[in-house]
C-alpha cells in the first residue's frame, strides 16, 4: 500500500460544513486514474481544521468511494487521546492504513513523539505511515527517532519532506535512511517539486498533493520513475515547475490546489477553512494561465 503514487485529496468545505458531493467527485478522479493509494485527511485534507464529526464523515466517504484502491486515513491531533480515538474510528470504518503526523503546539520532545507512536502502534492492527513534515507539524525527526519508531509494531512507511537537490546526495540520503529501518518499511517522498528526484533516488512512494487533484499528471511522473526512466520522470516533473513556483509564492501547495479545484468547478468558492484563504485575483489569473498551459484539467 505504501508504494507508488499516494494521492492526497482536499476535504472541500461548502456553506454548511463538508461539501460531500465535491469530495466524492475528487475521489472519483483518483479511482479513475488508478492511483496506488488514497490518503484522506492528510494536511491537504485539512485534518487539523476539521471537527471530529467531519473527520469521521470524510473517513466513511473515502472508504465508501475508493473502490478497490487502498485508503489511508490521517489521524493527527494535538492530543494522544484524540489520535487514539481517530485511529480506532478509521480502523473500524475500514481504512487500510493510517497516516500519523506529530502535530504540535508546544514544541514536542523526541521522547514524547516516540510515546505517541508507541501508543498508537500498539493499539491498531493496520499499518501506519509516519508523517515527517516540519513545515506543518513543527517537529524535526532525527534519523535515530525514525529508526526507533520504525521498529514499533505496525509501522509501514515514512513520509519524508523532500530530498537533496543533487542526485547522488539524494540517493545516499534515501539509502542511509533505509539502512536504519526494518525491511518492509518503505520511504516516500513528499513536496511535489521533489517527486522525480525522490523517486529516482530510491523512494518507494510519492505522497502527492498534486496527485490528489491531477492524478494523471502525477501518475505519469511516478510510472516513469518506477520503470527506471529517470530522465523522463525528471522531465515530466520539471514541466510542472510553473505550478511548483505558485506553491512557493502562496505559502505552500494547499491554497494553490484548492483554488485550482475551484477553477475547475470541482469545489465551491471558499472551500478552505478560514483564516486560510484561496488565491486573490492576481493569483487566480496566474494559476488559470498555468493550468491552461500545462493542460491540467
Residue 44 annotated as binding site: yes
**CB nearer to a second copy: pick between 47 and 214:** 47
Taking the complex as a whole, the smallest distance from the CB of residue 12 to a second copy amounts, in Å, to 15
Taking the complex as a whole, the smallest distance from the CB of residue 139 to a second copy amounts, in Å, to 10
HEC letters along the chain: CCCEEEECCCCCEECCEECHHHHHHHHHHHHHCCCCEEEECCCCCCHHHCCHHHHHHHHHHHHHCCCCCCEEEECCCCCHHHHHHHHHHHHHHCCCEEEECCCCCCCCCHHHHHHHHHHHHHHCCCCEEEECCHHHHCCCCCHHHHHHHHCCCCEEEEEECCCCCCHHHHHHHHHHHHHCCCCCCEEEECCHHHHHHHHHCCCCEEEECHHHCCHHHHHHHHHHHHCCCHHHHHHHHHHCHHHHHHHHHCCCHHHHHHHHHHHCCCCCCCCCCCCCCCCCHHHHHHHHHHHHHCCCC
Taking the complex as a whole, the smallest distance from the CB of residue 254 to a second copy amounts, in Å, to 6
Catalytic residues: 131, 159
**CB nearer to a second copy: pick between 4 and 76:** 76
Q: Which chain residues interact with a second copy by CB under 8 A?
A: 43, 48-49, 78-81, 102-103, 105-109, 111-113, 115-116, 119, 135-136, 138, 250-252, 254, 273-277
Taking the complex as a whole, the smallest distance from the CB of residue 107 to a second copy amounts, in Å, to 5
**CB nearer to a second copy: pick between 27 and 77:** 77
**CB nearer to a second copy: pick between 116 and 291:** 116
* Binding-site residue set: 44
* Binding-site residue set for pyruvate: 44
Amino acid at each position: 500500500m505504501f508504494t507508488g503514487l499516494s494521492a492526497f485529496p482536499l476535504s472541500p468545505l461548502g456553506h454548511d460544513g463538508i461539501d460531500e458531493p465535491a469530495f466524492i467527485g475528487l475521489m472519483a478522479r483518483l479511482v479513475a486514474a488508478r492511483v496506488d493509494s488514497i490518503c484522506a485527511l492528510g494536511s491537504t485534507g485539512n485534518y487539523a481544521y476539521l471537527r471530529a464529526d467531519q473527520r469521521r464523515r470524510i473517513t466513511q466517504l473515502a472508504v465508501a468511494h475508493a473502490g478497490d484502491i487502498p485508503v489511508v486515513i490521517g489521524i493527527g491531533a494535538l492530543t494522544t487521546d484524540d489520535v487514539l480515538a481517530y485511529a480506532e474510528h478509521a480502523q473500524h470504518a475500514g481504512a487500510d492504513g493510517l497516516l500519523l503526523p506529530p502535530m504540535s503546539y508546544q514544541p514536542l520532545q523526541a521522547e514524547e513523539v516516540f510515546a505517541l507512536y508507541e501508543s498508537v502502534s500498539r493499539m491498531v492492527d493496520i499499518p501506519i505511515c509516519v508523517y515527517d513534515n516540519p513545515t506543518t507539524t513543527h517537529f524535526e525527526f532525527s534519523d535515530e527517532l525514525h529508526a526507533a519508531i520504525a521498529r514499533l509494531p505496525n509501522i509501514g512507511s515514512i513520509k519524508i519532506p523532500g530530498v537533496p537537490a543533487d542526485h547522488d546526495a539524494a540517493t545516499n540520503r534515501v539509502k542511509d535512511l533505509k539502512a536504519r529501518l526494518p525491511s518492509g518499511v518503505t520511504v516516500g517522498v513528499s513536496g511535489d517539486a521533489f517527486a522525480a528526484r525522490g523517486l529516482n533516488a530510491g523512494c518507494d512512494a510519492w505522497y502527492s498533493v498534486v496527485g490528489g487533484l491531477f492524478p494523471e499528471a502525477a501518475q505519469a511522473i511516478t510510472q516513469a520513475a518506477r520503470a527506471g526512466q529517470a530522465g523522463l520522470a525528471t522531465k515530466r516533473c520539471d514541466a510542472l515547475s510553473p505550478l511548483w513556483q505558485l506553491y512557493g509564492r502562496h505559502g505552500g501547495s494547499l491554497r494553490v490546489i484548492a483554488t485550482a479545484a475551484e477553477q475547475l468547478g470541482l469545489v465551491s468558492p471558499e472551500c478552505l477553512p478560514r483564516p486560510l484563504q484561496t488565491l486573490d485575483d492576481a493569483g487566480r489569473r496566474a494559476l488559470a494561465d498555468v493550468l491552461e498551459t500545462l493542460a491540467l484539467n
